[in-house]
Amino acid sequence: MVTFSERRLVVEDVHNLGPDYDKTLMCWYERFQDHLKKGNIDRPEVFCRMWDFYLQYCAAGFRARTIQLVQIVFSKKRAERYDAVR
C-alpha cells in the first residue's frame, strides 16, 4: 500500500467478496457432483477427491471468515464521483 500512496493513487472502493465466494464455490461443488454422477467427468478418482476437498475447504474458510477476498479500486487522482458497480 505504501507504493500506491507514494505514486498518489487513491483508494476509491473496497468490496469484500468473501460471502459471495462461499456461495460460488458451493455452486461449483454441486455442479461438479452432478457431472460426476452423470459420468461426464473423465478424471482420475484422486483428482475428483482432491477437487471436492478443495472446493468444500475453501467454501468453509470463506464461511468462517478465515479467508478473505477483496476487490480494491484505485485511481490516479480522486474522482469527483465514483459509482461502485455491485
Residues 25 and 63 sit within 8 Å (Cβ to Cβ): no
d(CA 14, CA 28): 25
Q: DSSP letters of 43-81? A: S-HHHHHHHHHHHHHHHHHHHTTSS--EEEEEESS--S-
Q: Kindly list the domain boundaries of the chain, sorted by start residue.
A: 2-75
pLDDT of residue 77: 73
What does each of the 86 residues of the chain score in pLDDT, given as a tens digit?
Answer: 556 556 678 888 999 999 899 999 999 999 999 999 999 999 999 999 999 999 999 999 999 999 999 999 888 876 677 888 77
pLDDT of residue 59: 97
Q: How far is CA 10 from CA 1, 5, 44, 75, in A?
A: 10, 7, 48, 5
Residues with active-site annotation = 58
pLDDT of residue 81: 79
pLDDT of residue 4: 53
d(CA 40, CA 32): 9
pLDDT of residue 10: 82
pLDDT of residue 12: 87
